[in-house]
Amino acid sequence: MATTSDECKKITLRTADNQEFEVEEAIAMKFVTLNTFFEENPEACEEAMPLPNVSAKCLSDITEYCKEHLKKGEAAETSFDMEFVKARDNESLKEMILGANYLNKKDLLDMLNQAVADRIKNKSVEYVRRFFGIDKDFTLEEEADLRRQNEWAFQGVDPDDDVA
């Protein structure tokens, strides 16, 4: 753990794509995974902590979110969170969900899950499949039969947007 001139402690994190980040200790300790690890292994502070499930882009976005929340507290949540989500494409949101889950950052994970739920709300089965990269798992006949049996589920579906 390095210390800067203003005595702000930093923790070095190494992402899955082998990039190193120096993150303020106050931010790093917001991640339950890191907090628990460093409590159990205080000597590990001298080395870069590997994050095998988090990319550099994802960690950058997550630390941006945490810095803003640390700086503004509860006041940051509504407007900042909406703009934060709006600025991310679908792939970034999905990757951040995996990162927030790995780092055990529950408030961020809940917010991202809600953002994805909002993006797929009232969308067609085809849209949701494209969104999550799911292959069709039914034959055309099976799917047609399911659609007939569950006609109500396909009523009032919004037009599909492009999935980014």
The CATH number linked to 107 is 3.30.710.10
| Residue 142 domain-assigned (yes or no) | yes
Please give the chain's pLDDT, 164 residues, in tens. 444 334 568 889 999 999 999 999 889 888 999 888 888 887 776 788 899 999 999 999 999 999 888 887 665 567 889 999 999 999 999 999 999 999 999 999 999 999 999 999 999 888 999 999 998 888 889 988 988 998 888 888 887 776 65
Distance of CA 136 to the CA centre of its chain: 26
| Residue 162 domain-assigned (yes or no) | no
Measured over the CA atoms of residue 150, residue 154, residue 160 and residue 163, the dihedral's sign is: negative
Measured between alpha carbons, how far is 10 from 105 in angstroms, rounded to an integer?
A: 19
pTM value?
A: 0.81
| Residue 115 domain-assigned (yes or no) | yes
Same domain for 21 and 101?
yes
Same domain for 80 and 134?
no
| Residue 53 domain-assigned (yes or no) | yes
The boundaries of the domain holding residue 145 are 125-154
| Residue 161 domain-assigned (yes or no) | no
| Closest-CA residue to 102 (of 33, 152, 25, 151) | 33
Same domain for 130 and 53?
no
| Residue 90 domain-assigned (yes or no) | yes
Strand partners, 49: 13
Same domain for 20 and 86?
yes
Same domain for 148 and 98?
no
DSSP H helices, 12-105, are 25-28, 32-40, 56-72, 77-86, 90-103
Same domain for 16 and 76?
yes
Contact assessment for residue 138 and residue 126, using Cβ atoms and an 8 Å cutoff: no
* Total count of domains within the chain: 2
Taking the CA atoms of the chain, what radius of gyration do you get in angstroms? 20
Region of 18 on the Ramachandran plot (φ > 0 left; ψ -120 to 50 alpha; else beta): left
Measured between alpha carbons, how far is 13 from 142 in angstroms, rounded to an integer?
A: 48
pLDDT at 46: 75
Distance of CA 112 to the CA centre of its chain: 6
Same domain for 137 and 92?
no
| Residue 68 domain-assigned (yes or no) | yes
pLDDT at 76: 54
| Residue 160 domain-assigned (yes or no) | no
Same domain for 113 and 47?
yes
Same domain for 144 and 104?
no
pLDDT at 2: 44
| Closest-CA residue to 7 (of 20, 22, 24, 21) | 24
Strand partners, 2: 10
Measured over the CA atoms of residue 93, residue 85, residue 69 and residue 77, the dihedral's sign is: negative
